[in-house]
Amino acid sequence: MKTFDEVYELLKANPKRRLAVAWGVDEHSVCAASMAIDAGFCEATLYGDRKMIEAVCQKENIDIAKFNIVDVPVELKAIQEAVTAVHEKRADVLMKGLCSTDKYMRGILNKEWGLLPPKAVLSHISVMQHPNYPKFLVFGDMAVIPLPEFKQKIAILKYIVNVCKSLGVANPKIAAVAATEQMLDGMPACVEAAMLSKMAERGQIPGLVDGPLALDVALNKEAAAIKKLKSEVAGDADGLLFPNIESGNVFYKSNTQLVPGVRTAAFVAGASAPCVLSSRADSIDTKLNSIALACLQVK
Amino acid sequence: MKTFDEVYELLKANPKRRLAVAWGVDEHSVCAASMAIDAGFCEATLYGDRKMIEAVCQKENIDIAKFNIVDVPVELKAIQEAVTAVHEKRADVLMKGLCSTDKYMRGILNKEWGLLPPKAVLSHISVMQHPNYPKFLVFGDMAVIPLPEFKQKIAILKYIVNVCKSLGVANPKIAAVAATEQMLDGMPACVEAAMLSKMAERGQIPGLVDGPLALDVALNKEAAAIKKLKSEVAGDADGLLFPNIESGNVFYKSNTQLVPGVRTAAFVAGASAPCVLSSRADSIDTKLNSIALACLQVK
């Protein structure tokens, strides 16, 4: 698949996934859930104050009957009930409503009724459809792990590989991004990229991994040719592993802010179920794509 | 000024600057120097093997008479002579030819005949003209300092301010970039952004500085409005101070690789004269813009 439209087509052919929206009482999350239902690939339960939900539906002209509603008028309790539903397999995908990211993540991390497998690494994985790149780009982490340790990078890399596969890429090519393609021993991003490349070469981790690669040679065959790089990944990356949150965040925001036609999706990987973590500033398209991407990860 | 074309117009009205090209014997640097001469804002001296220069000029159909040539057939010696010419004020701008970045930088750093003032911080400053942003973006460091310490960030910020001013921005607005606009005490990029903001507010450093700002709110007024940010910089940045080399590099390469119509320039600031440090993979436009930008910095 190369576009989100193809993802929607595939999802329609799958069984409908069950979405649990934690404190789903604001227009952003209710509208996104409504559109996902209308797109035909999920059903949704809103956990929140029924009166607030009714008001939003009225204002946005949404037929409230399309939702299941669990009337919980207290934010923290609503989060707990939504997370518990996923924990108990009564729902497939968790989604953030009006609650803060902090409260939402603490719900996922709860030891009794949360979604965290032992030793799990939670990471934010994004997918970008770019008008000037011929296929999806899957990357992380741009929102959850500030400076991943090596073991966390391995986890993020595995999530990227899995998402690439869910999008139909049989043998994903992952660039471990750095500021240069030279293996400079003074730069941790370069050193760890070399380590990951070798681990992939030895079959210790999945995917076809090469790094360090600067973004130009990761994405552009010509730039790689000028620099005489021998690399199966260079110029043809499916995935980008960023060395720190700032570089991932800048990649995401530079493209979403400055490039018309870019479409994105994201979710939190590493929990026992995919978790959608949209921000208020996300577009409706991004919110809907993110629900679709999360549904696509459900086994 | 909002475009490089305007920069060229201004430069033509200034006295011609004198360019010293270190080991200027390859087609990339010779062509760029030739175009800069033709553009009417500089004269150029090539330090290198005359036979190699003659061969390049013949191949590229360039009139060799437009250059001054100092025939030095040995690379390191040619670098030394070019740097010395700038050191002794016989040239205004240094430019890298075929020599490696490493040898070039060591020339600049030489204690006897180099270009390093005491306690100077060398940093790579870039300028981007973007089809989807209404003015120049000046940013650093994407190529020289891997992880700037706080004092180095202050130096980089001053260089960004100076370059903004050279481009006609009287009171430059600088965003100290992070992955979020929240002042999260666990993220050094956020902490140091807050420190820089306060120092600018107190008049300790120049410019109108705000941070932490994620790239969306730095560049987009709407995103800033959605998040209810009160900031004179948000949505209207002239300059971007990146917290590490990877984020700066990703910003540069994402835009140059994935956005048609982006034009860039860069130079090394902090030496006693501006130094041009183009890479083989740079386009001719970037190389020429970089010479122009460096010439614009000459006092």
pLDDT tens, position by position, B73-117:
999 999 999 999 999 999 999 999 999 888 999 999 999 999 998
Cα–Cα distance, A244 to B242 (Å, whole number): 12
Q: Quote the pLDDT of residue A279.
A: 80
Partner A contacted by B133 (CB < 8 A): yes
Q: Is the pLDDT of residue A197 over 90?
A: yes
Beta strands A93-96 and A275-276, pairing class:
parallel
Shortest CA gap B281–chain A (Å): 6
Collect all residues with Cβ–Cβ distance below 8 Å to B212 and sequence separation of at least 6.
B176, B177, B178, B180, B181, B182, B183, B184, B187, B189, B190, B193, B194
Mean pLDDT of chain A: 96
Question: Higher model confidence: residue A66 or residue A279?
Answer: A66
Nearest chain B residue (CA) to A146: B187
Q: Quote the pLDDT of residue A260.
A: 96
A-chain CB neighbours of B133 within 8 Å are 258
Q: Quote the pLDDT of residue B119.
A: 87
Q: Tell me: the pLDDT tens digits for A24-62?
A: 999 999 999 999 999 999 999 999 999 999 999 999 999
Cα–Cα distance, B168 to B10 (Å, whole number): 11
Q: Is the pLDDT of residue B227 over 90?
A: no
Partner B contacted by A242 (CB < 8 A): yes
Q: Quote the pLDDT of residue B282.
A: 85
Q: Tell me: the pLDDT tens digits for B155-200?
A: 999 999 999 999 999 999 999 999 999 999 999 999 999 999 999 9
Answer whether B249 sits within 8 Å of A132, measured CB to CB: no
Judged on CB neighbours under 10 Å (0-12, 13-18, 19+), B85 is: buried
Judged on CB neighbours under 10 Å (0-12, 13-18, 19+), B174 is: buried
User: Max CA-CA distance within chain A?
Assistant: 63
Partner B contacted by A146 (CB < 8 A): yes
Q: Is the pLDDT of residue A233 over 90?
A: yes
Q: Quote the pLDDT of residue A280.
A: 75
Cα–Cα distance, B220 to A254 (Å, whole number): 10
Mean pLDDT of chain B: 96
| Phi and psi torsions of A265, nearest 5° | -150, 160
Q: Quote the pLDDT of residue A281.
A: 77
Amino acid identity, position B124:
H
Q: Tell me: the pLDDT tens digits for A178-189?
A: 999 999 999 999
Cα–Cα distance, A198 to A132 (Å, whole number): 30
Q: Is the pLDDT of residue B42 over 80?
A: yes
Amino acid identity, position A97:
G
Answer whether B281 sits within 8 Å of A227, measured CB to CB: yes
Q: Is the pLDDT of residue B279 over 90?
A: no
| pTM of the predicted model over 0.95 | no
Answer whether A258 sits within 8 Å of B227, measured CB to CB: no
Cα–Cα distance, A294 to B220 (Å, whole number): 28
Q: Quote the pLDDT of residue A157.
A: 98
Cα–Cα distance, B73 to B82 (Å, whole number): 13
Partner B contacted by A179 (CB < 8 A): yes
Per cent of chain A over pLDDT 70 is 100
Q: Is the pLDDT of residue B281 over 80?
A: no
Partner B contacted by A135 (CB < 8 A): no
Q: Tell me: the pLDDT tens digits for A236-276?
A: 999 999 999 999 999 999 999 999 999 999 999 999 999 99
A98, A156, A238, B252 from A180: Cα distances, Å: 40, 21, 19, 12
Q: Quote the pLDDT of residue B35.
A: 95
User: Max CA-CA distance within chain B?
Assistant: 63
Q: How many residues does chain B have?
A: 299
Cα–Cα distance, B144 to B267 (Å, whole number): 11
ipTM of the complex, rounded to two decimals = 0.88
Q: Quote the pLDDT of residue A299.
A: 84
Q: Any idea what the Cα angle at residue B271 is, between residues B265 and B276, rounded to 5°?
A: 30
